[in-house]
Amino acid sequence: MAKTHSFDVSTGVDLQEVDNAVNQAKKEVQQRYDFKGTNCTVELDRESAVVKLDADDEQRLKALYGVLVSRLAKRGVPLKNLDPGSVDGGTMGRARQEILLKQGIPKDTAKEIVKRVKAQKLKKVQVQIQGDELRVSAPDRDALQEVIAFLKKEDFGLELQFGNYR
């Protein structure tokens, strides 16, 4: 029986890096001149993987979002895994926004990835959905390399990570 090789496809963000980026963004907001005298906050809710922004008005909220995104990019957090919600208006002109951090591949996206990989008609490549990640297996390592190259050039709205290559 031929030995099969495999790798896992997953996605997610490192919550410690997000926490560090949020802390850096808070410090920058305290220091920047255009935020002096304002009540703008950035908070990370680790349990639900959500960053909450709160600002005096929508213009400052956009500036606050820009500061956060620049800090996340510098920390190496994949920006494709951010899902900014709609801007909610509060009392007295305040603006709030929640940014969802995507952890794991959603079922519909996983099915789309499986469909596209199978459409490539690579020899004996099998893709299995395992919870919020995928396992790709094949008897030939070259076929696995082709699948990785294919997935890297496709855009699924997520930053895909490849690991557990055996």
Q: Does 27 share its domain with 84? A: yes
Residue 116: give the domain boundaries.
5-12+105-163
Tell me the pLDDT band of 1, cut-offs 50, 70 and 90.
very low
Looking at 101, 123, 143, the residue that finishes a domain is 101
Give how many domains the chain has, as a whole number: 2
CA distance 39 to 99: 19
pLDDT at 2: 54
Backbone angles phi, psi at 10, to 5 degrees: -145, 180
Token code pair at residue 81 = 């895994």
CA distance 58 to 65: 10
Q: Does 61 share its domain with 84? A: yes
Q: Does 89 share its domain with 44? A: yes
Q: Does 95 share its domain with 133? A: no
Q: Does 58 share its domain with 130? A: no
The pTM of the full predicted model, rounded to 2 decimals, is 0.80
Q: Does 73 share its domain with 123? A: no
Tell me the pLDDT band of 116, cut-offs 50, 70 and 90.
confident
Looking at 85, 101, 117, the residue that finishes a domain is 101
**Region 76-86 average pLDDT:** 87
DSSP state letter for 1: -
β 126-130/133-138 pair status: antiparallel
Residue 153 pLDDT exceeds 60: yes
CATH number for the domain spanning 27: value is 3.30.70.990
CA distance 97 to 42: 10
For residue range 11-67, list pLDDT tens digits in order: 888 889 999 999 999 898 888 888 888 888 899 888 888 999 998 888 888 989 999
Q: Does 43 share its domain with 97? A: yes
Residue 132 pLDDT exceeds 90: no
Q: Does 156 share its domain with 85? A: no
| C-alpha dist (Å) from residue 152 to 70, 113, 131, 142 | 23, 12, 21, 15
Q: Does 89 share its domain with 121? A: no
**For residues 41 and 53, is the Cβ–Cβ distance under 8 A?**
yes
